[in-house]
Chains A and B, each alone.
Chain A
Amino acid sequence: MSEQQAFAQGPEGLTDGFTARRTSQWRVLRSEWIKLLTLRSTWITLIAIVAVIIGFGVLSALVASGSVTPSSSNGGGPPTEAMRRNPLNTVMSGANLAVLIVAVLGSIIGAREFASGLIRTTFSAVPRRLPVLWAKLMVFVGVLLPIVLVAIVAVFFLGMSLLASADAQTVAWSDDGVARSVIGLGCYIVGLGVIGLALGTLLRGTAASIGVVIGAVIFVPALATALLPESWDEVLKYLPSNAGAAFTTASQSGGAMLDPGVGAAVFVGWIVLAVACAAWVIKRRDA
């Protein structure tokens, strides 16, 4: 008898008036939304991200403007020339640190369910599986992008006004490439988080995916640029972090970097590649 029911419904007895709804992408999204927000660690990490972006940015601005002088016994001292020369970098110092936290958060969100075994319950509820990956990505971007962008724009104006009040060098939002690089940096941070999430589902281990995303995506390109001969530079420009640098820095340093638009496209390409691999593996591998 139950075979003909397009919509399975249990016999009477256990429940009063509960009717199951179709498992749509929207409902899977709701499920992942609840999952993310019901973990205390999510809230702590989100607060940490905002605190780091704004806190370190403000602190750097104060140091650069000379309002705060780090104690010289710790290797501090008066503001360095570099800090004064590049106000945007100074104010975005926290954002550059937040890259690590967001990448780690992405890896954890991607790998966490595999570590706990919850993924088997999740895939039993959504046996087609891919909606789960899409939902995780949407929730991640939907939560982090606004938070990171708001924090990063806030610290830009906060930091610049601090620098201005100390008569230090500043850049304006309307200056050439500034708005692009500030917004670009926010997108780059969240984009790396997405790559972390994809790697987390791919490698199924929190530690492994954090190691790969931070090591390979953030440090290896920097190391390779420093160690490999110049003839490699053409290739290294296309690595995720270097492609990111192309649209997150306001001043173009000659041919060492891709054009901002090309850099953004290459970076999006890396994200698509990571997500495509994750989707392929999630669909095929036994859970």
Chain B
Amino acid sequence: MIEVSELTKRFGAVTAVDGITFTVRPGIVTGFLGPNGAGKSTTMRMILGLDRPTSGTAHVNGRPFRQAPAPLAELGAMLEAKAVDKGRSARNHLRAVGATIGVGRSRVDEVLAMVGLTDVAGKHAGGFSLGMGQRLGIAMALLGDPPVVMLDEPVNGLDPDGILWIRGLLKSLAAEGRTVFVSSHLMSEVEQTADHLIVIGRGRILADMPMGDFIRQSSQHRVSVMSPDATRLAELMAGPEVVVATADDGSLVVEGLGAREVGELAAANGIVLHQLVDVAPSLEAAFMELTAESVVFHGSVDQQAGSAA
């Protein structure tokens, strides 16, 4: 169990994390979702005690992580895959850090087998690919058999095989009753594994709800309609609950009316329609929409998912 309360972190004038409160529960996979720079890593670093909060608290299993008698066996974390000494072998890396909780060789080999690194256990970690480094980081997180596992962007750099493997791993860790907290900046990744979703943007919590609720809440339908007489159609559809926007290709994107209503309205007024489509937004789109205003680093091309089919 991870309990974060009123947690704030400022770096000079920049507020990276702005008074957030949430709880990560055991037995399920909780996705921690937000654009790059939203404050995910900073939050995780404060939970681990790597960064000192400006204010607020983060508790792991009911107390600050600092007070854990055997920290590695309390919370296993992977923040960056390549946080290893290049000159040390994978096995010795795990042995050295594991020694803080009395981990022996057999447990190290067990974990190396679990993440599929047995064959390269004696190789220097400096020569590892990003994917192998990621597996080594996960091995470190699991080494102490902790009840709480926290992974920052674990899918980064993994091949499709590795991605499938990690999805299965996360689910089985949760099924064993562990608390599993996984960050990502991609909705599509979290969609596959998470049971619960915490969305963060600009250091604030934007959503904290079961995945099912998030899907239901965000499946507000839109209708895409194309007509040679778009201007008149838009005027006819106008109403207090209706929002009409024009997409790049000239089609109208309508919120607040169903495809059937739009079609009937057009027929009743003799307007020709070339296309009438019900658009159910993907979770990705819902996530983008939710975080659109909270993206810190906007690209030169604005990411608008509005008209995406």
Instruction: Judge: A and B partners, yes or no.
Output: yes
Residues of chain A whose beta carbon lies under 8 Å from any beta carbon of chain B: 1-16, 18-23, 27-28, 30-32, 34-35, 38-41, 112-113, 116-128, 284, 286-287
CB contacts (< 8 Å) of B83 on chain A: these are: 116-121
Q: A20-B145, A34-B99, A122-B97 are in contact. Are A2 and B51 (CB under 8 A)?
A: no
**Are A127 and B95 touching (Cβ within 8 A)?**
no
- Would you give the shortest CB distance from B53 to chain A, in whole angstroms? 10
**Are A10 and B51 touching (Cβ within 8 A)?**
no
CB contacts (< 8 Å) of B221 on chain A: these are: none
- Would you give the shortest CB distance from A273 to chain B, in whole angstroms? 24
**Are B107 and A39 touching (Cβ within 8 A)?**
no
**Are B52 and A8 touching (Cβ within 8 A)?**
no
> 1/0 contact trace for B144-184 toward A, CB 8 Å?
11111000000000000000000000001100111100000
Determine the distance from Cα of A38 to Cα of B108 in the docked complex, in whole angstroms.
15
**Are B79 and A27 touching (Cβ within 8 A)?**
no
CB contacts (< 8 Å) of B173 on chain A: these are: 14
Within 8 A of A (CB), among B98-117: 98-103, 107, 110, 114
**Are B89 and A8 touching (Cβ within 8 A)?**
no
Within 8 A of A (CB), among B260-292: none
B123 CB–A CB distance under 8 Å: no
**Are B178 and A10 touching (Cβ within 8 A)?**
yes
**Are B110 and A12 touching (Cβ within 8 A)?**
no
CB contacts (< 8 Å) of A30 on chain B: these are: 99-100
Interface size on B, residues (CB 8 A): 57
Determine the distance from Cα of A125 to Cα of B94 in the docked complex, in whole angstroms.
11
Q: With contacts A20-B73, A127-B49 known, what are 18 further pairs, Cβ within 8 A? A: A2-B26, A2-B61, A3-B1, A7-B73, A8-B147, A10-B146, A11-B147, A14-B173, A22-B69, A23-B72, A31-B99, A34-B99, A39-B87, A117-B82, A120-B45, A120-B50, A122-B97, A286-B51
B146 closest partner in A (C-beta): A10
CB contacts (< 8 Å) of B179 on chain A: these are: 2
Determine the distance from Cα of A285 to Cα of B26 in the docked complex, in whole angstroms.
31
Contact for B178 among A11, A32, A113, CB less than 8 A = A11
**Are A118 and B70 touching (Cβ within 8 A)?**
no
A4 closest partner in B (C-beta): B62
**Which A-B residue pairs are the 4 nearest by beta carbons?**
A20-B73, A21-B102, A10-B145, A117-B83
Contact for B69 among A1, A7, A41, CB less than 8 A = A7
10 CB contacts below 8 A, A to B, read A10-B73, A10-B145, A10-B176, A14-B173, A20-B145, A27-B102, A30-B100, A121-B140, A124-B77, A126-B71
**Are A15 and B70 touching (Cβ within 8 A)?**
no
**Are A18 and B100 touching (Cβ within 8 A)?**
no
CB contacts (< 8 Å) of B114 on chain A: these are: 14
- Would you give the shortest CB distance from B99 to chain A, in whole angstroms? 4
**Are A34 and B95 touching (Cβ within 8 A)?**
yes
B189 CB–A CB distance under 8 Å: no
- Would you give the shortest CB distance from A130 to chain B, in whole angstroms? 11
CB contacts (< 8 Å) of A2 on chain B: these are: 1, 26, 61, 147-148, 179
Determine the distance from Cα of A13 to Cα of B174 in the docked complex, in whole angstroms.
11
B96 CB–A CB distance under 8 Å: yes
CB contacts (< 8 Å) of A41 on chain B: these are: 87
B45, B50, B70, most chain A CB atoms within 10 A: B70
Determine the distance from Cα of A126 to Cα of B66 in the docked complex, in whole angstroms.
8
B226 CB–A CB distance under 8 Å: no
**Are A124 and B85 touching (Cβ within 8 A)?**
no
Determine the distance from Cα of A113 to Cα of B102 in the docked complex, in whole angstroms.
21
- Would you give the shortest CB distance from A99 to chain B, in whole angstroms? 25
